[in-house]
């Protein structure tokens, strides 16, 4: 993976609009010098990183894996989406959805690297500097974590010569966790300043709780169950953290689902096992009688966090923390504790959730075996965290069948590697079988 600096151009636009001198005597001079060596440039780049992630990365992390996990149906005859929906051997590294996850991730990782390296060298208050560095560590970790969900192996960083070394995804998760731990240490040692909170941090984004939430998520995915429990318990259950959108930077899922109509949510969250009395169906979906084109899958109208151009999208959902605790307890043999956390989600009513998500179901009454409990955790995660970017990982980790052409089972275990990466990086491994 090659480090690209094209993202500097968007940061430079922000840099200029903040009142900087537009009289550039040499238009061919390195723009990086102006961005990376001044406080205004670093601030602009931190703002641009968040905007880029909210518009490009959130889009890639939700849309394409949701077809693979069966949460979304392709609703167009575009070849790239039909290939994603067919999965298995029909999907290749030439697919634009696969490339979007790969290259969007490493682009933001490159931005984060520049901020981590250069923020200490410009004139900023200590609290503003610590906020920018922790934010960059968080965003780099989130990107690595999503890459590890989509690919069997991946680099943990970018390289200027494009010759990045691939490591197993377990090592990618480990690096993401290390970055998150460092981010927590950074802001614990020096709390972010009022300037950082008001002028740099995205509106509605809770830095501390998001760090804790992703520490919980990635420790769970890595099998570090005590650490996942500790982190999940640290997240404030009443807090929310969102990516915000406006008329200029619109909700990307809204544009793909409602404007382009290229994607549509599957009936019953794309599973055969959804309880028809689950109140989350009404939160996320509005019934209709449509079938997707061309594969004729029953689809609904999307609601929840994506039905207007300016709807905010959560960075994580509070209910995920209870389900992380449920799974960690189950994996450590504490079935009683696992069922208690499952019931906290099953019986939760919308008024008890910061986002209004509630199942309003009776307590769990199934078998108290680890196998049955993990099946129930999958069902609850699919409903509670619909289109949250974790459904594909959940399907693999929680023992769901697949990969398969069955429209209710994931159609790949991992994606093939992007063709452009293979062309430029001789370290790119062979593609996984499926």
Domains assigned to the chain: 7-21+29-245+307-317+387-424 (1.25.40.390)
Asked if the model's pLDDT at residue 28 lies above 50, the reply is: no
241: tokens are 């953290």
Q: How far apart are CA 92 and CA 88, in angstroms?
A: 9
Asked if the model's pLDDT at residue 264 lies above 70, the reply is: yes
Asked if the model's pLDDT at residue 14 lies above 60, the reply is: no
pLDDT at residue 30 in the model: 47
pLDDT at residue 341 in the model: 98
Where does the pLDDT of residue 42 fall: very low under 50, low under 70, confident under 90, or very high at 90 and above? very high
Rounded mean pLDDT, 347-365: 98
Span between the terminal Cα atoms of the chain, in Å: 22
Q: How far apart are CA 386 and CA 379, in angstroms?
A: 10
pLDDT at residue 209 in the model: 98
Looking at per-residue pLDDT, the higher value among 62 and 1 belongs to 62
Rounded mean pLDDT, 126-132: 98
Rounded mean pLDDT, 47-68: 97
Percent of the chain with pLDDT over 70: 92
Asked if the model's pLDDT at residue 15 lies above 80, the reply is: no
Where does the pLDDT of residue 23 fall: very low under 50, low under 70, confident under 90, or very high at 90 and above? very low
Three-state SS for 99-141 is HHHHHHHHHHHHHHHHHHHHHHHCCCCHHHHHHHHHHHHHHHH
pLDDT at residue 160 in the model: 87
Question: Could you give the C-alpha distances from 9 to 87, 91, 111, 189, in angstroms and in order?
Answer: 36, 33, 12, 33
Among 314, 252, 319, 270, smallest CA distance to 69 is for 270
Q: Which of 2-6, 33-37, 241-245, 292-296 has the lowest mean pLDDT?
A: 2-6
pLDDT at residue 31 in the model: 61
Rounded mean pLDDT, 81-95: 97
Q: For the chain, what percentages of helix, strand and coil (3-state, to nearest 5) are there?
A: 55, 5, 40
Task: Calculate the average pLDDT of the chain.
Answer: 93
pLDDT at residue 3 in the model: 58
pLDDT at residue 34 in the model: 77
Asked if the model's pLDDT at residue 10 lies above 70, the reply is: no
What pTM does this model have?
0.94
pLDDT at residue 12 in the model: 46
Where does the pLDDT of residue 162 fall: very low under 50, low under 70, confident under 90, or very high at 90 and above? confident
**E strand or H helix that includes residue 74:** strand 72-74
Determine the distance from the C-alpha atom of residue 192 to the mean position of all C-alpha atoms in its chain, rounded to a whole number: 24
SS3 for 226? helix
Rounded mean pLDDT, 367-371: 97
């Amino acid at each position: 993976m090659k480090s690209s600096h094209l993202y500097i151009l968007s940061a430079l636009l922000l840099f200029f609009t903040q009142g900087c001198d537009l009289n550039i005597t040499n238009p061919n001079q390195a723009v990086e010098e102006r961005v990376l060596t001044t406080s205004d440039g670093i601030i602009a780049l931190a703002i641009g990183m968040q905007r880029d992630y909210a518009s490009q990365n959130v889009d890639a992390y939700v849309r394409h894996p949701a077809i693979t996990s069966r949460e979304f149906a392709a609703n167009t005859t575009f070849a790239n989406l039909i290939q994603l929906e067919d999965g298995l051997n029909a999907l290749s590294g030439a697919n634009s959805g696969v490339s979007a996850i790969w290259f969007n991730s490493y682009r933001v990782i490159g931005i984060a690297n520049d901020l981590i390296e250069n923020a200490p060298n410009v004139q900023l208050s200590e609290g503003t500097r610590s906020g920018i560095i922790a934010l960059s560590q968080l965003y780099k970790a989130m990107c690595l974590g999503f890459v590890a969900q989509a690919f069997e192996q991946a680099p943990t960083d970018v390289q200027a010569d494009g010759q990045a070394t691939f490591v197993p995804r377990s090592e990618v998760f480990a690096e993401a966790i290390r970055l998150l731990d460092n981010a927590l240490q950074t802001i614990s040692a020096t709390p972010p300043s009022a300037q950082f909170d008001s002028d740099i941090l995205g509106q509605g984004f809770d830095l501390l709780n998001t760090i804790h939430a992703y520490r919980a998520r990635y420790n769970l995915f890595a099998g570090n169950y005590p650490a996942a429990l500790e982190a999940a318990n640290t997240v404030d259950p009443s807090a929310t953290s969102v990516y915000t959108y406006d008329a200029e930077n619109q909700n990307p899922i809204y544009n793909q689902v409602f404007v382009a109509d290229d994607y549509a949510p599957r009936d019953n969250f794309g599973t055969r096992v959804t309880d028809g009395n689950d109140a989350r169906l009404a939160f996320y979906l509005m019934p209709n009688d449509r079938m997707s084109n061309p594969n004729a899958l029953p689809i609904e109208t999307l609601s929840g966090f994506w039905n207007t151009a300016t709807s905010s999208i959560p960075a994580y959902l509070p209910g995920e923390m209870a389900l992380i605790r449920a799974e960690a307890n189950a994996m450590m043999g504490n079935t009683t504790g696992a069922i208690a956390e499952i019931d906290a989600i099953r019986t939760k009513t919308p008024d008890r959730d910061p986002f209004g998500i509630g199942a309003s179901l009776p307590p769990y009454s199934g078998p108290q075996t680890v196998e049955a409990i993990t099946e129930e955790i999958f069902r609850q995660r699919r409903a509670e965290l619909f289109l949250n970017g974790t459904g594909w990982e959940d399907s693999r980790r929680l023992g769901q069948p697949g990969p398969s052409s069955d429209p209710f089972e994931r159609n790949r275990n991992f994606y093939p590697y992007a063709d452009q990466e293979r062309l430029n990086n001789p370290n790119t491994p062979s593609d996984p079988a499926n």
